[in-house]
């Protein structure tokens, strides 16, 4: 465990890799609240131990949306594990995510995939175990799919806050490979319309951030042509019932307004890789 009072870890990450601090800072801030939507002590530990650019990536007005997105995916993964306690969850572009810590049932198998510099940072805080391992690779590589096959099915692939940074043909190529290689698997992906990409670009310029969203997807159902069947298309402002019932009051007050303004902007979709797809 890292000593948050000791010298902080210096990190050198690529521009897109650095964006991992956005959800990390959001989860750490949420955890410090009196009635948090999720508790993530490991995020608090890591954010306190790393020397990162908090002016660019620190908690901001979008934190509530980011935390809700993560909580929605946690809910889906827990439901998957309730049915398949020893299945495999693959966290694509994991960053310093701590979903395993939040949902581990003692039997799940887990793969955290990210680019080599991110995995190098991740290894300072996490270690591989019998049920959990890290892979340093791009989602665009093919070798990691073979490693996933060695882990027991069924499979749940999560790509949260990742594919939006890739050009459309790369994002859809990655989804196609997963769909073809793992029929029946669940795949969770967040998508954003072109109007929000333009806003992200303005925000990035303002904050001096190099990373730019690249993949606009106005309708997640359009991804069905890549061998995926949408089984739940929702907005971050419309959490599934299982989560809605345990939202802290703060979120319950904010969601109706957020839903009116942002519903069509922050879509998150649960797909099933369609084994019948040609
Ligand atoms: C905004 S962060 C999201 C991190 C994590 N999913 C979370 O929600 O906390 C984006 C992540 O995508 C990773 N990433 C970017 N391009 C990637 C690629 N081609 N293959 C794998 N990971 C990638 C980055 O290194 C970074 O960790």
| Distance from residue 91's CA to the centre of ligand 1 (Å) | 9
- The pLDDT confidence band at residue 56, using thresholds 50, 70 and 90, is confident
Cα(262) to ligand 1 centroid in Å equals 23
- List the one residue out of 97, 89, 131 whose CA is nearest residue 114: 97
Distance from Cα 260 to the centre of ligand 1, integer Å: 29
Do strands 50-51 and 109-114 pair parallel, antiparallel, or not at all (unpaired)? Answer: unpaired
pLDDT digits (tens, 9 = 90+) for 68-96: 999 999 999 999 999 999 999 999 999 99
Structure tokens given for 86: 């020893």
Which residue from 190, 193, 197, 188 is spatially nearest to 219, judged by alpha carbons? 193
User: Residue 262: which of 94, 68, 14 has the closest Cα?
Assistant: 68
Tell how far the Cα of 107 is from the centroid of ligand 1, in angstroms: 25
Read off the DSSP letter of residue 154: S
The pLDDT confidence band at residue 160, using thresholds 50, 70 and 90, is very high
Residue ranges per structural domain of the chain? 61-273
Q: Which residues contact 41 (CB under 8 A, 6 or more apart)?
A: 31
Predicted local confidence at residue 29, as pLDDT: 94
pLDDT at 275: 65
Could you give the 3-state DSSP secondary structure of residue 118? helix
**8-state DSSP, 9:** E
- What span, in angstroms and rounded, lies between the C-alpha atoms of 108 and 118? 23
pLDDT band at 276 (very low <50, low <70, confident <90, very high): low
Residue keyed to tokens 């131990």: 49
What residue owns the CA closest to ligand 1's atom 20? 138
Q: Is the pLDDT of residue 3 over 60?
A: no
d(C-alpha 49, C-alpha 2), whole Å: 7
Alpha helices in 53-124 (DSSP H): 54-57, 63-83, 99-103, 116-122
Which of the four pLDDT bands, split at 50, 70 and 90, describes residue 58?
confident
Atom of ligand 1 nearest to the CA of 91: 6
Query: Please, are residues 188 and 159 in contact by the beta-carbon 8 Å criterion?
Result: yes
* Residue nearest ligand 1's atom 19 by CA: 138
139 lines ligand 1 (CB under 6 A): yes
The reported pLDDT for the residue numbered 263 is 87
113: Cβ contacts below 8 Å, ≥ 6 apart: 90, 91, 92, 93, 94, 134, 135, 137, 139, 144
Q: pLDDT of 190-226, one tens digit each? A: 999 999 999 999 989 998 999 999 999 999 999 999 9
Task: Decide: 160 and 167 in contact? Cβ < 8 Å.
Answer: no
Q: Is the CB of 16 under 6 A from ligand 1?
A: yes
**98 ligand 1 Cβ < 6 A:** no
Judged by DSSP in three states, 276 sits in coil
- At residue 260, φ and ψ (nearest 5 deg) are -65, -40
Q: Whole-model pTM above 0.85?
A: yes
Q: Can you read off the two tokens belonging to residue 257?
A: 């307004």
Contact 74, 68 (CB under 8 A): no
What are 168-200's pLDDT values in tens digits? 999 999 999 999 999 999 999 999 999 999 999
What is the band of 4 on the pLDDT scale with cuts at 50, 70, 90?
low
Q: Which residue out of 95, 117, 125, 141 has the highest number of ligand 1 atoms within 8 Å of its CB and is therefore the one to mutate?
A: 95
pLDDT of 2? 43
Please state the CATH superfamily assignment of the domain spanning residues 61-273 in this structure. Answer: Vaccinia Virus protein VP39 (3.40.50.150)
* DSSP assignment letter at 218: S
pLDDT at 1: 40
Most confident of 2-6, 119-123, 239-243, 250-254: 119-123
């Amino acid at each position: 465990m890292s000593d948050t009072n000791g010298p902080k870890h210096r990190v050198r990450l690529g521009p897109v890799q650095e964006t991992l601090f956005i959800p990390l800072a959001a989860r750490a801030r949420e955890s410090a609240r009196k009635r948090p939507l999720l508790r993530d002590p490991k995020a608090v530990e890591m954010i306190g131990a790393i020397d990162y650019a908090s002016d660019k990536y620190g908690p901001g007005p979008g934190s509530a949306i980011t935390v809700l997105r993560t909580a929605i995916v946690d809910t889906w993964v827990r439901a998957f594990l309730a049915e398949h306690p020893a299945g495999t969850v693959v966290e694509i572009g994991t960053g310093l995510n701590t979903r395993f810590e939040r949902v581990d049932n003692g039997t799940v198998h887990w793969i955290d995939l990210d680019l080599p510099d991110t995995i190098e940072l991740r290894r300072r805080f996490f270690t591989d175990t019998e049920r959990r391992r890290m892979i340093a690779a791009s989602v665009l590589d093919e070798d990691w799919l073979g490693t996933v096959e060695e882990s027991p099915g069924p499979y749940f692939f999560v790509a949260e806050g990742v594919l939006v940074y890739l050009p459309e043909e790369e994002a859809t190529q990655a989804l196609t490979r997963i769909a073809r290689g793992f029929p029946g698997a669940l795949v969770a992906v967040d998508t954003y319309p072109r109007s929000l990409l333009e806003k992200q670009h303005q925000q990035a310029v303002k904050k001096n951030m190099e990373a730019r969203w690249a993949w606009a997807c106005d309708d997640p159902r359009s991804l069905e042509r890549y061998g995926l069947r949408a089984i739940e298309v929702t907005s971050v402002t419309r959490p599934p019932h299982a989560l809605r019932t345990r939202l802290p009051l703060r979120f319950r007050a904010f969601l109706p307004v957020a839903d009116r303004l942002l519903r069509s902007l922050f879509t998150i979709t649960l797909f099933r890789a369609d084994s019948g797809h040609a």
